[in-house]
């Protein structure tokens, strides 16, 4: 089995749905950070069969937990200090997300108004439904930027 | 500062106050003839809607105010590519309140975020048309005395009709409401509406034929069944007469039933019904002016 070493300070995102780690890497803007990142794909998991893991050696505050929660709130966030897990953060669905997903309704004002942010609001927390703030079109999964 | 984007922006109590004011205006219009002296309403209509625009203009004029604006996008700066955000910033310098109609959904909301004056959504594509819903509610309350406990038949195009969806959402807030949806299979009310009704335990029935339910109704809200909504001519020809209200169908209705229609009417209500005292659709247009007068006063802070 592949071995990836421990990190000293940073965070480990565990229980990422297999195959989703690269999309999360992108949405968290990790490509813009000058730090060590390990992307582990298709790791064996008792719970999930297989899963992805992201290990990032940087300050936890650089992480946008809202975006992460929107993408998958079942991800476990482990905060690492001095090589040990010091905290497990729970992810809560954000009330609002900005410029993470795009409204694809051709009748929506966001389709023509320049520089208007694409804002989605949590309409139904139980069913995890997000709607465009302006036209109220339901978010469909393939609409991610 | 308040705007009106969605018919549900006002609570039931706020709507009561708005409708009380509209009824006072109706009884004594002279008392309100100068309350908006010196005020300007901007009607920014990016798509033509003569009826709604004239209703707003009539409302402001009757309050003593003045009106500026444009009646379609080609005669506005939008034709030069100006954004809604920029247009409303400029309009805020010229007027005290704005009524905006736009073909794109959410455009009036974008305007309200940048505006220094109250913005009224006068229709944004197939999304909302809140002043129509306020008109419908005021008509029912004025002619019946209350808004709760009614069995309301909604007939025609229930799939695409935004006035129907808005009215349903507004009426579920009043206890004892029951809906009867009368439409062809192709134009049934969308699932998300019936799901919402089940969640709120609001009773409803879905039927194909208007005749069968006429005796049960306190109110009948008619909409137009458009030919282009059907897949084939045959279905349209077979079904269209089901959804035409005529005197024969009116004979099945109660003495005190009301017939409402957002207008324009094409042929879904036979003209012979117009003289029936239960036909309320032209009075409805009159209430549309009163409710817009009350709304303008309320949003300008002149209601008390």
Interface test with A, best of B6, B104, B107, B195 (most A CBs within 10 A): B104
- In this complex, the residue of B84, B85, B106 whose CB is nearest that of residue A108 is B106
Whether B204 has a pLDDT exceeding 80, the answer reads yes
H or E element: which one contains B61? helix B50-62
Class of the A10-89 domain?
A: alpha beta
Size (chain B), residues: 304
Residue B146 CB-density burial (10 A; 0-12 exposed, 13-18 middle, 19+ buried): exposed
Of the segments A6-20, B224-238, B242-256, which one has the largest average pLDDT value? B242-256
The domain made up of B7-128+288-299 has a fold known as Rossmann fold (3.40.50)
Look up the CATH number of domain A96-143: 2.30.30.20
Query: Where do the CATH 3.40.50.1370 domains begin and end in chain B?
Result: 7-128+288-299, 131-284
Residues A69-81 have pLDDT tens digits of 888 888 999 999 8
Question: How do beta strands A49-56 and A76-81 pair?
Answer: unpaired
A51-54: which pairs have CB atoms within 8 A and are 24 or more residues apart?
A51/A14, A51/A15, A51/A16, A51/A17, A51/A18, A52/A16, A52/A17, A52/A18, A52/A19, A52/A20, A52/A21, A53/A12, A53/A13, A53/A14, A53/A16, A53/A21, A54/A12, A54/A13, A54/A16, A54/A21, A54/A24, A54/A25, A54/A30
pLDDT of amino acid A2: 66
Tell me the pLDDT band of A145, cut-offs 50, 70 and 90: very low
Q: Sheet containing A37-45: give its strands across.
A: A37-45, A49-56, A10-17, A76-81, A84-89
Percentage of chain B surpassing pLDDT 70? 100
Torsion over CA of B127, B131, B137 and B142, rounded to 10 degrees? -170
CATH architecture of the domain covering B131-284: 3-Layer(aba) Sandwich (3.40)
Report the alpha-carbon distance of residue A122 to residue A126 in Å, rounded.
10
- The CATH 2.30.30.20 portion of chain A extends over 96-143
Question: How close is the nearest chain B Cα to the Cα of A130, in Å?
Answer: 15
Q: Which of B84, B125, B127 sits opposite A113 (nearest CB)?
A: B84
Residue A107 to residue B110, Cβ atoms within 8 A: no
Binning pLDDT at 50, 70 and 90, where does residue A144 land?
very low
Rounded to two decimals, the pTM is 0.88
Given a contact cutoff of 8 angstroms between Cβ atoms, the answer to whether B224 and B156 are in contact is: yes
Residues of chain A with CATH 3.30.70.140: 10-89
CB contact under 8 Å between A109 and B109, yes or no, is: yes
Complex-level ipTM: 0.87
pLDDT band, residue A1 (cuts 50/70/90): low
Structure confidence at residue A141 (pLDDT): 65
């Amino acid at each position: 089995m592949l071995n990836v070493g421990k990190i000293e300070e940073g965070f480990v995102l565990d229980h990422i749905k297999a195959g989703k780690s690269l999309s999360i890497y992108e949405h968290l803007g990790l490509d813009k950070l000058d730090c060590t990142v390990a992307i582990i794909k298709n790791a064996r998991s008792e719970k999930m069969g297989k899963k992805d893991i992201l290990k990032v050696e940087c300050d936890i505050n650089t992480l946008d937990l809202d975006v992460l929660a929107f993408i998958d709130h079942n991800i476990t966030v482990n905060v690492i200090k001095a090589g040990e897990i010091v905290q497990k953060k729970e992810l809560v669905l954000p009330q609002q997300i900005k410029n993470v997903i795009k409204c694809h309704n051709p009748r929506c004002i966001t389709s023509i108004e320049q520089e208007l942010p694409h804002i989605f609001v949590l309409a139904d927390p139980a069913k995890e439904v997000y709607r465009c703030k302006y036209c109220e079109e339901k978010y469909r999964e393939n609409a991610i930027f | 500062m308040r705007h009106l984007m969605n018919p549900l922006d006002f609570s039931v109590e706020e709507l009561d106050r708005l409708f009380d004011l509209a009824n006072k205006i109706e009884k004594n219009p002279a008392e309100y003839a100068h309350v908006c002296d010196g005020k300007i309403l901007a009607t920014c209509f990016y798509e033509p809607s003569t009826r709604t625009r004239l209703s707003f203009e009539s409302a402001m004029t009757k309050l003593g105010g003045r009106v500026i604006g444009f009646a379609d996008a080609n005669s506005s700066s939008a034709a030069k590519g100006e954004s809604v955000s920029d247009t409303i910033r400029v309009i805020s310098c010229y007027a005290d309140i704005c009524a905006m109609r736009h073909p794109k959904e959410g455009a009036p909301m974008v305007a309200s975020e940048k505006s220094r004056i109250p913005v009224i959504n006068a229709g944004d594509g197939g999304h909302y048309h809140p002043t129509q819903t306020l008109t419908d509610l005021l008509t029912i309350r004025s002619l019946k005395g209350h808004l709760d406990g009614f069995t309301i038949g909604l007939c025609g195009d229930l799939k695409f009709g935004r006035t129907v969806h808005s009215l349903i959402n507004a009426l579920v807030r009043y206890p004892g409401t029951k809906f009867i949806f009368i439409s062809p299979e192709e134009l049934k009310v969308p699932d998300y509406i019936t799901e919402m009704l089940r969640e709120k335990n609001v009773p409803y029935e879905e039927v194909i034929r208007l005749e069968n339910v006429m005796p049960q109704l306190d109110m009948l809200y008619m909409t137009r069944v458009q030919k282009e909504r059907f897949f084939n001519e045959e279905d349209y020809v077979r079904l269209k007469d089901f959804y035409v209200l005529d005197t024969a169908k009116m004979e099945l209705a109660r003495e005190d039933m009301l017939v409402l229609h957002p207008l324009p009417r094409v042929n879904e209500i036979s003209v012979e019904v117009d003289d029936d005292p239960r036909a309320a659709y032209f009075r409805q247009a009159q209430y549309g002016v009163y409710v817009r007068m009350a709304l303008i006063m309320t949003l300008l802070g002149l209601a008390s």
